Amino acid sequence: MNTKKIYATILLTASLFFAACGGHDDHTEHEDHGHSHDGTEGAHSHDDHQHTEFAKDPGPNGGRLITSLDPAVEFLLRDDRHAQLTFVDADGKAIAPSKQIATAVTGDRMSPVNITFASDGSALVSEQALPDTEGQPIILTIQSSPEASPVIERFNLKTYKCSGCGLAEYACICGH
Ligand SMILES: [Zn+2]
């Protein structure tokens, strides 16, 4: 008698379990329909986001444009890992450096590397190659002239390509 009772209980439990599973599947399908609707709404707000808050001008060479300085300056990490500072006029055109000077500190936080810049006639170029460390923090100090107060720009030198704008992540103009 007892064995039969237990067997019946197992059957009942199993059928409840499968019923619950079936119900769960239906629910998931229903959620999927709802999800595609949500996805459309998400795309709308995403577009608004891009147009209103994150539209930025790229530097003339696809680098990071620093506008807290006048004239503005583009920071670019070249393929040879030297940093290049290109000054930019109000129309976004590159202009030769005049009296500007710059230094930087970068690399691992435990062993920072001091970087100095010298003019090559068309831009200020770092005299040292930057360490090959993905995402290293960099602190740039730039002065319009040796007498001017320094402008300090800090960011992480993330070099992977942004999927939104196709620029290096440190130079991203789309806010992704
Ligand atoms: Zn981007």
CA of 169 to the centre of ligand 1 (A): 6
Q: Token pair for residue 29?
A: 């399908």
CA of 85 to the centre of ligand 1 (A): 20
Structural domain boundaries in the chain: 1-53, 64-171
60 within 8 A of 88, measured Cβ to Cβ:
yes
CA of 84 to the centre of ligand 1 (A): 20
With a CB cutoff of 8 Å and minimum separation 6, the contacts of 160 are: 134, 168, 169
The fold adopted by the segment(s) 64-171 is Immunoglobulin-like (2.60.40)
The number of helix segments (H) and strand segments (E) in the chain equals: 1, 9
What are the pLDDT digits (tens) for 125-170?
999 999 999 999 999 999 999 999 999 999 999 999 999 999 999 9
CA of 167 to the centre of ligand 1 (A): 6
The continuous run of DSSP H or E covering 144 comes out as none
Higher pLDDT, 61 or 32: 61
Give the pTM.
Answer: 0.69
Concatenating the DSSP letter of every residue in 97-116 gives -SS-EEEEEES-TTS-EEEE
